[in-house]
Chain A
Amino acid sequence: MSHPERAELDARIATWMRESDWCEDEERFEELALALFAYQFENCPPYARFCRARDATPAKVRLAGWRDIPRVPTGAFKEMALRCFPEARTVKTFRTSGTSTAKRGELHLDRLDLYEASLLATIRRFLFPDLDQGERMLVRVLAPSPAEAPDSSLSHMFGCTVDQLGAAGSGYDMAAGKLMARALMERLAEAQRADRPVALCGTAFAFVHLLESGGARAHACALPAGSRVMETGGFKGRAGERTRDELYAAIEQMLGIPPDRIVNQYGMTELGSQFYDSNLQTPDGPRRKLEPPWARVRIIDPESGRDLAPGEIGMIAIHDLANVGSVAAIQTADLGRLCAEGGFEALGREPGAEARGCSVAVDAMLGPAPARGSGSAPARRSGPAPARGSGSA
């Protein structure tokens, strides 16, 4: 890394990601967030102009605190390359899902190790909290492999999981856009016979496809204790015709994995970190989304821009120190609320205007082009597409 300031930032953040003891160290977060802002302000010209227009410079923000760092809307990732390094140094670009004509959001990376350290530390903690160091588990993925979908951040995440945490027999059950339901169910039946717990990972829509597949329905099984499901994707309250509760009940019926062993992940292409349901990590507490200590989630009042108290509904804002090479402060258009016990709840994007008028937003009228930075749901309705959108609750 040629930029000494950047190298030091990477090292300090990577150190935090490697620590097994996750504690909310506000002072450490503040210090790193301010240093990262100074770096991104200096090296990402459009972001610097955006900040100056808001009268926010590193010197001013240092006095006010990290919460005053200007947040970039997720939609901006569709409009411009938000990177702090020359294009030639790009080693990976992840893209949001979307139609062939719609613009897609892009996250450019100049190194993958930090990105992967973040995702692995988080998935290990929230999906595999019971695995000892070095222990592996059978992982089946209802999404294409990273080789087949190289620009999908979701496939990349699943790829890292299979590589680093998957036991023999782990792999992908989707290819050429098709879920191979029968083959998957045969593998699961084999796992059942061998009493091998399984981790099944995929989008909510991929699970809907699995549940609706005739071949799969005919091979319902009861997976061994210790099995689990991780689902993610643009739910917006419903996947196909199912609510999330209905989906979980159907998964339990078909695979024998109860809802308290099913974890939802909230993530988006524009972020280096992901957020998981708490139920495997802290099974005794209420289900809520938890973040790693190098990321902070705030709920913002769209009218005033102020932070909202637990229980109040507002926009989800994320400050993610894993986004070193792009912009760390992100404003989503997703709704959520903080939980009194810590963590947050993601509520998606409920329709607002449609019920009251006979007009309709231009984007909705012009067809499937994704609205408000959301690339996920429209594409996923037609099938279990693997790419992640901007915000998927």
Chain B
Amino acid sequence: MSSLRVELEQRAQRLRAAGTRLQSRSASEVLAVLCDLLDAWSDPASVWRTRLERELPGATGFSPEVVREGLSRGLAAFTGDRLRELVARELRPGDLGFPLTSVLLAGSIPMPSLLSLVLPLVLRSPVLAKTASRDPVSPHVFAETIGELDAELRRCIDVVSFPGEDADCSRVLLSSDCVVATGSDETMSEIERRVPAHTRLIRHGHAMSVAALGPETDADKDLSDAAVRLALDISLWDQLGCLSPLAVFVEDAAGGRSEQLAASLADALAHAQERLPRGEIAPASAAAIAHERDEARMRAAAGQRIVVHASADTSWTAVLEPDAQWRPVPLHRFVRIHPVDSREALLEALAPLHRHLACVGLEGFAEAGPEIARTLCERGASRVCRFGEMQSPPLGWERGNSPLCRPLVQPA
């Protein structure tokens, strides 16, 4: 047995003990501390926010500008008031969390991590959190913020790091009463295989988002304005978040509008690159972008109606496709624009994605918009919003169309 595993077991024991004391406190008192924490994080002038803005770029590979803008938009709705509303909506007096909740974090975007850490504590369940390899910063800042606000609550969160392949250490985390895990389908299946049968497992799988533009945006100005907001949605977090649109469907029965949008989006992505430079990129990702661009150019040479708009380096790419057929999207600000003939064709094109669809940015459908939004939600999308708002979900956004707090409640 490794010494790290022994240490982890001891830390888990300490958390359980601290959790017993925590459960003797009132729910409203604990909630008040966590609301204060959210208010501190959402305040751009707070010391914690400044620290996140300073430390996240180096740890995550995002540019400082992207981190600043992403936090500003992402945390704006993460306030104490919104948390109180969520709790009032989902929880009943006396609801308690599990004696110990493990949170396995993934990715490098702070908002999902923040929520994963806050919610078990709301239910007075102590948290053993494993950092994501690309964001060792946020969980530690979170724990330190709590320490500043409430020393006893600070004893109810512990942040650990170890390589994912360390089976010994993973076993300790997976032996908690409740496990909250974020990751790919493959990771989720592996975790599901390894958690004991009695453990409550809450899974947050990978997801994706798209945008759809309706026929009611005829004026050039409208189209250009839509493209600017869409470029912001794509550029924030370098298109690596589950709320980042990977493809744009344009209802374009007459032809021409998808070309227009592609050109406008290319301009907007170029401007966004100046204001919000893309962060570092692995050689494999750059190679995938270069390859997809060349592949599109080759299809164009074969006679397909394809236009490739791209920066000189790999920092942004907009490919106008001839149809609605899905193709690989290598992320890092690479978007495909697909013309569709009709609303029905749009919904049909999205059908293969229903299981993984997070957000749909929707504009230009006028009176038909609400009905399309309803249909998309019925088919799996958990959020529909305007362009430019895709990266600013409300705190209570039910990712995966599931309640946020209820799954963390220990059965009576």
Contact = CB atoms under 8 A, between A and B. Distances in A.
Contacts of B106: 358
A311 interface: no
A352 B299 contact: no
B288 A352 contact: yes
B184 interface: yes
Nearest to B247: A362
A288 B133 CA distance: 31
Interface string A313-334: 1110000000000000001111
A79 interface: yes
Main SS class of interface, A: loop
Nearest to B283: A313
Interface string B314-341: 1000000000001111111000000000
B366 interface: no
A304 B283 contact: no
A352 B282 contact: yes
Contacts of A19: none
Contacts of A48: 301
Interface in A135-180: none
Nearest to B352: A366
Contact of A73 (B209, B241, B298, B331): B298
A74 B132 CA distance: 34
A63 interface: no
Interface in A336-383: 349-366, 371-373
Size band of the interface chain B makes with A: 35 or more
A332 to B, nearest CB: 8
B305 interface: no
A193 interface: no
A361 B301 CA distance: 25
B295 A79 contact: yes
Contact of B206 (A79, A80, A360, A363): A360
A373 B284 contact: no
A55 to B, nearest CB: 13
A53 B302 CA distance: 12
A46 interface: yes
A75 interface: yes
B332 A353 contact: yes
A371 B109 CA distance: 25
Interface string B282-323: 111111111110110111111100000000011000000000
B237 interface: yes
13 contacts: A50-B297, A79-B298, A331-B291, A333-B291, A353-B240, A355-B133, A358-B109, A361-B330, A362-B208, A363-B329, A366-B353, A371-B328, A372-B288
Given A352-B281, A356-B60, A362-B328, 6 more contacts: A50-B298, A54-B297, A76-B295, A76-B298, A358-B182, A360-B207
